[in-house]
């Protein structure tokens, strides 16, 4: 945890998606110092007519490589979250050739009671999970 949901245009190979997911996981490990096995990732692919990502008037150019990342997480703090943005774009550019202008991130914060990892229990509340 965090849970990362990647939204992208269809057309990438399975190998390209795996590389992207691995790069994002490395950025998350560095920024949030979570255990390596703490990995929850989803990918949704869209036809070009079903995904519009504009620049909010900032003059940010987008290409067909654009990726929108939704991160669902307990509060991480502004400093670590900003570090994640930086590391994510660096890793994606280096390993996938995705420009930082093609990476948009939105964070949805929630609380411990909003997570169940299975077995019908809220593991953060029961004490089965703690940490960051």
35 a catalytic residue: no
- DSSP secondary structure letters along 15-55: HHHHHHHHHHHHHHHHHH---TT--EEEEEEE-GGG-----
Contact 64, 46 (CB under 8 A): no
Distance CA 67, CA 48 (A): 12
User: Catalytic residue among 2, 48, 61, 75, which?
Assistant: 2
- Active-site residues: which are they? 2
């Amino acid at each position: 945890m965090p849970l990362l949901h990647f939204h992208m245009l269809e057309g990438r190979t399975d190998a390209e998606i795996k590389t992207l997911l691995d790069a994002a996981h490395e950025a998350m490990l560095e920024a949030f110092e979570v255990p390596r096995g703490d990995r929850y990732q989803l990918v949704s692919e869209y036809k070009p007519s079903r995904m519009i990502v504009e620049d909010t008037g900032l003059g940010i150019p987008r290409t067909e490589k654009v990726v929108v990342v939704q991160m669902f997480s307990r509060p991480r703090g502004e400093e670590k979250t900003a570090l994640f943005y930086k590391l994510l774009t660096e890793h994606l550019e280096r390993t996938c050739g995705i420009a930082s202008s093609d990476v948009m991130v939105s964070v949805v914060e929630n609380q411990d009671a909003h997570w169940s990892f299975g077995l019908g229990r809220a593991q953060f509340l029961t004490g089965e999970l703690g940490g960051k």
